[in-house]
A and B are shown apart, each in its own frame.
Chain A
Amino acid sequence: MKRDGPTALERFINGVLPENPVYRQLLGMCPTLAVTNGMKPAMTMAAATAFVLICANIIVSLIRGLLKPHLRILVFTLTIATFVTIADRFLAAYMYEMSKQLGPYVPLIIVNCLIISRCEICASKQSLGVAAADAVGMSLGFAAALASIATVREILGSGSWFGISVLPAAWPGWGIMVLPPGAFLTLVLLLGIAEWMSARRRRAPERQSETESECSLHGHAH
């Protein structure tokens, strides 16, 4: 609170691309790999994570003035676990099939490092608006990352997208893509592409005259 942190807009934009939780920070790897064999589970997971992240960030930001340094992790965990339980119960009540398919990965949101790191880095230091914007941005970034992996895996693995067939029925369906090894290999492929593109974009403005906004964002990401 003493120092001026990034503004709400910066936080929001940062979360989506420059500090994308999956591709740039390698946070929340468990759900990224485990539930991305189809778009439906991936998007349900992203929504559940977004709900928990936004609620936790808002609560933590509201009580940030009262937090004691040695008790803050305890408070974060308590908040996160409560909202995860709520999300889990809602899934079990209204989307029972999906809740069975996601199984233990819904409660495992509690130990998703993404949420606790946002509480620690942003929400416990900045105002409600900034914290909320940060949570929404990070959630969008997380959802985009899950969607990209799930798209590759579901289309190649089962020839469908969101359960709707998009490839001709003759498509054999690469079974490996929906299995655990496919998760690792898809992630590494997309991670490599993301790294390569950002390396190229970093080099480009150095050669030309420096465009201020681009660089300040990139400088922030590293």
Chain B
Amino acid sequence: MDTLTSLVLIFIGAALINNFVLHYFVGICPFLGVSRRVDTAFGMGCAVTFVISISGLLNWTVTYFVLRPGAPLPVWVWQAVGGDPAKQIDLSVLSYIIYIFVIASSVQFVEMYVRKFFPHLYRSFGVFLPLITTNCAILFGSLEIMKRLQDPTKLWGLHEALALTLGGGVGFTIAISLMAGIREELDMCDVPKPLKGAGVALIIAGIMAMAFMGFVGVDKGVHGVLSALLK
């Protein structure tokens, strides 16, 4: 049951407490650029959640088996070619290059797959897919997973990695949808000229960041409730 509690806490942490957009500032570009209407913003959020989970899955696999210090595959290869078994094998220098390529190619494949098999889905968020490759939130999710796979005594499992990326995606969707809702209302308002567009969006983001700071400490309560429930 500990596992379930920790998964819920990781999810809530990524979605609300340390919201990817409002706490870590990743994914600001689409957050400002694609938040004029609620339906497109929600579509973008869903697309990001989809891609971040898939790339999180792939990058966890690659990191766990190949890239982390002491990963099984390079050690096996090293010993198969007769290398000194005491030597530490660490391919983490290649991580960033591999992550960005995994993300770029998973975006490509997801786009092709969705266009072929789910035309409805493609019409609703397919147009955002190419934009997602350069969305920092996706790479950030993979980097956070990588950080949790460095210490061999505290390795994250796939379920934890998925909870983090899914939470990050949901958090992004919440933030961008709220933002779009507020901006739709703002269309009717008289905003000072120098602050039109990005300026006023950033003010809203600042206020939202303050509001999201209120989630800090929620995990303690959730932890208490869950441990009482699961006992």
User: Any chain A CB within 8 A of the CB of B213?
Assistant: yes
Interface-located stretch among A1-9, A39-47, A82-90, A152-160 = A82-90
Question: Count of A residues near B, CB < 8 Å?
Answer: 37
How far does the Cβ of B172 sit from chain A's closest Cβ, in whole Å?
13
B202: chain A residues at CB < 8 Å are 184-185, 187-188, 191
Interface mask (B127-145 → A, CB under 8 Å = 1, otherwise 0): 0000001111001100110
A81: chain B residues at CB < 8 Å are 96-97, 100
Q: How far is the CA of A180 from the CA of B133 in the complex (A)?
A: 25
Contact for A181 among B104, B193, B207, CB less than 8 A = B207
Q: Which label, helix, strand, loop or mixed, suits the secondary structure of the A interface?
A: helix
Contact across chains for B207 and A78 when beta carbons are under 8 A apart: no
Interface mask (B13-24 → A, CB under 8 Å = 1, otherwise 0): 000000000111
How far does the Cβ of A44 sit from chain B's closest Cβ, in whole Å?
17
Identify the closest chain B residue to A107 (Cβ).
B96
Identify the closest chain A residue to B101 (Cβ).
A77
Report the tally of A-B residue pairs with Cβ distances under 8 A: 107
Interface mask (B154-175 → A, CB under 8 Å = 1, otherwise 0): 0000000000000000000000
How far does the Cβ of B69 sit from chain A's closest Cβ, in whole Å?
13
How far does the Cβ of A170 sit from chain B's closest Cβ, in whole Å?
26
User: Any chain A CB within 8 A of the CB of B194?
Assistant: yes
- Chain A CB within 10 A, most for which of B29, B198, B205, B206: B206
User: Any chain B CB within 8 A of the CB of A26?
Assistant: yes
How far does the Cβ of A120 sit from chain B's closest Cβ, in whole Å?
12
Contact across chains for A184 and B144 when beta carbons are under 8 A apart: no
User: Any chain A CB within 8 A of the CB of B32?
Assistant: yes
Contact across chains for A192 and B199 when beta carbons are under 8 A apart: yes
Q: How far is the CA of A199 from the CA of B196 in the complex (A)?
A: 13
Contact across chains for A188 and B135 when beta carbons are under 8 A apart: no
Contact for A110 among B28, B32, B139, B205, CB less than 8 A = B139
The 7 closest A-B pairs by CB, nearest first: A184-B206, A195-B194, A29-B28, A188-B202, A196-B194, A33-B25, A181-B209
Give the interface of A toward B (CB within 8 A): 26, 29-30, 33-34, 74, 77-78, 81-82, 84-85, 88-89, 104, 107-108, 110-111, 113, 116, 176, 179-185, 187-188, 191-193, 195-196, 199
